[in-house]
């Protein structure tokens, strides 16, 4: 019996974000290993890389919440056993993936490849109109259910989707949880993973 291998776009494990010093000179080989998905925790430590987003504060500067000043600064790395990074915006997550030669997965890719709940909710690439109202689900869940994708507003900034969720959120977490949030939001329960 064959095991299911998921979609062609590999989504890996939740990502950690690393600041790599001298990425174009001394650590050019380390950046190349990151882009090939062949780096290890020992490689990162030997190169003097620092993991970001593991404490309850935003430590990504000079990489701005808007994604400016992030090129060649932060890199997404998926390593088993390494706590995922959080406290970053959608723009910073996208920049970290791009710098690592990857991208955020689409909502459909995430749904097809990831069947778990974990440490953080995860940004995906998809954007949606801003939300205005939310109806009651037939199961009787509150109208403020964060899993509800609500009616589109005519004004305001669009939302991005997050998937999964932090396990402490209970019914608002899991493989079917979809939550629209503003792309400039950063919380200690928001993270990401990258796809190729």
- Inform me whether the pLDDT recorded for 92 exceeds 50: yes
Give the whole-angstrom CA distance, residue 13 versus residue 34: 14
Q: Which residue has the higher pLDDT, 16 or 157?
A: 16
Transcribe 101-140 into DSSP letters. Answer: T-BPPPHHHHHHH----BSSEEEEEEEEPPB---PPPTT-
| pLDDT tens readout for residues 171-193 | 667 777 788 888 998 988 889 99
**pLDDT for position 17:** 97
Tell me phi and psi for residue 169, to 5 degrees: -75, -5
DSSP state, residue 141: -
The proportion of the chain whose per-residue pLDDT surpasses 70, expressed as a percent, equals: 74
**pLDDT for position 163:** 87
Give the number of other Cβ atoms within 10 Å of residue 181's Cβ: 19
pTM: 0.81
Average pLDDT in the chain? 81
pLDDT tier at 60, thresholds 50, 70, 90: very high
- Inform me whether the pLDDT recorded for 36 exceeds 90: yes
Q: Which residue has the higher pLDDT, 62 or 170?
A: 62
Q: Which residue has the higher pLDDT, 51 or 113?
A: 51
What are the sequence ranges of the domains in the chain? 16-192
- Inform me whether the pLDDT recorded for 8 exceeds 50: no
- Inform me whether the pLDDT recorded for 94 exceeds 70: yes
Q: Take residue 149 and report the two structure tokens written for it.
A: 């994708």
Q: Which residue has the higher pLDDT, 11 or 194?
A: 194
Helix, strand, coil percentages in the chain from 3-state DSSP, rounded to 5: 20, 20, 60
| pLDDT tens readout for residues 110-157 | 988 878 656 788 999 999 876 565 544 444 444 444 545 545 555 567
Give the number of other Cβ atoms within 10 Å of residue 150's Cβ: 17
């Amino acid at each position: 019996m064959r095991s299911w291998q998921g979609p062609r776009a590999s989504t890996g494990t939740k990502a950690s974000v690393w600041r790599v010093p001298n990425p174009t000179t001394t650590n050019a080989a380390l950046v190349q290993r990151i882009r090939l998905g062949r780096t290890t925790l020992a490689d990162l430590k030997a190169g003097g890389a620092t993991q970001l987003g593991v404490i309850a504060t935003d430590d990504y500067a000079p990489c701005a919440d808007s994604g400016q000043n992030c090129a060649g600064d932060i890199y997404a790395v998926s390593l088993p056993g390494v706590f995922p990074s959080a406290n970053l915006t959608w723009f910073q997550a996208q920049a970290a993936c791009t710098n690592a030669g990857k991208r955020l997965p689409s909502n459909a890719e995430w749904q097809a490849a990831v069947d778990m709940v974990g440490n953080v909710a995860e940004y995906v690439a998809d954007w949606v109109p801003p939300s205005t109202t939310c109806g009651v689900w037939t199961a009787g869940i509150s109208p403020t259910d964060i899993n509800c994708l609500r009616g589109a507003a005519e004004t305001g900034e669009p939302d991005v989707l997050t998937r999964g969720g932090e396990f402490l959120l209970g019914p608002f977490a899991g493989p079917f949880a979809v939550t629209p949030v503003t792309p400039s939001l950063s919380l200690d329960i928001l993270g990401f993973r990258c796809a190729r």
